[in-house]
Structure 1
């Protein structure tokens, strides 16, 4: 990925998350793009990146062979919101993850958006389970039937996600 495409992705996240969180999420996105196992999927409109979503490995310590990903960040630039970009991005991403044999995808996100694509609340632990004050925001999409049931115990995300404040839902009540 060239620098101008990276900048366009970062700008989408800056704009999508606004003044309050935009810079922090753009920095997170930049850190994730440097990780070789990050899957980054963008949707374009008129040749420009209109939305971007990233997936990074998410490991259950006791079941390291189950192939899980964490979905974050997911952003659509404001001028493209409500025009199907998010739907296209999610459908394309889910199809890609299914095609590479992903067992499950986890997300800490908006409880009214992700269920549109099959995500359901889960009782599986986040890396900081004591910070989950909005349980319905922690969701999973099972891509291989029966894979989530066997998961349990401590979870680990890649280094950029292993900061407690990123898992604290108390600020989003």
Structure 2
């Protein structure tokens, strides 16, 4: 991925998350894009990146052979929100991750958005289970039948996402 594409993706997340969270989420996206195993899916409109979603490896310590990814962040430029960009990147992402043999996706996100793509609340642990005060925000999408049921125990996200504040749902309403 070349520098201009990285900058365009970072800018999409900065705009999508607005004044309050934009700078921090943009930096997180930049940190994720520096990781070799990050999967980035974008949608273009008018020759520019209009939306982007990133997926990073998510490991269940007792089940290292189960291929899981964490979805974060998912952002659409305000100019293109409400025009199907989010749907396009989510559907393309799910198809791509299935095609590479991913077993399950996890997201700590908006409970009203992700279920339309098949995500359901899960009781599997986050890296900081004590900080999950909004359990309906922690969801999974099983891509390989039977893979999620067997998962248990401690989970590990990539290093930039292992800071506890990312997992504290008490700060979001």
TMscore range, shorter length = over 0.9
Residue aligned with 1:69, SS: strand
Structure 2 CA distance, aligned partners of 1:4 and 1:156? 30
Structure 2 CA distance, aligned partners of 1:7 and 1:118? 30
Residue aligned with 2:52, SS: strand
What displacement does 1:91 show? 0.2
Unaligned residue ranges in structure 1 (runs of 5+): none
With structure 1 as the length reference, what TM-score do the two structures score?
Answer: 0.99
Residue aligned with 2:18, SS: helix
2:92 aligns with 92
After the TM superposition, which residues 52-131 of structure 1 pair with which residues of structure 2 at under 5 Å, given as runs? 52-131=52-131
Unaligned residue ranges in structure 2 (runs of 5+): none
Structure 1 CA distance, aligned partners of 2:127 and 2:72? 14
Residue aligned with 1:37, SS: coil
Runs of 4+ in 1 over 4 A off after TM superposition: none
RMSD: 0.4
Residue aligned with 2:82, SS: coil
What displacement does 1:13 show? 0.2
Per-residue CA deviation, residues 65-95 of structure 1 (Å, 9 max, x unaligned), is 0000000000000010000000000000000
Per-residue CA deviation, residues 97-120 of structure 1 (Å, 9 max, x unaligned), is 000000000000000000000000
With structure 2 as the length reference, what TM-score do the two structures score?
Answer: 0.99
Residue aligned with 1:89, SS: helix
Residue aligned with 1:73, SS: strand
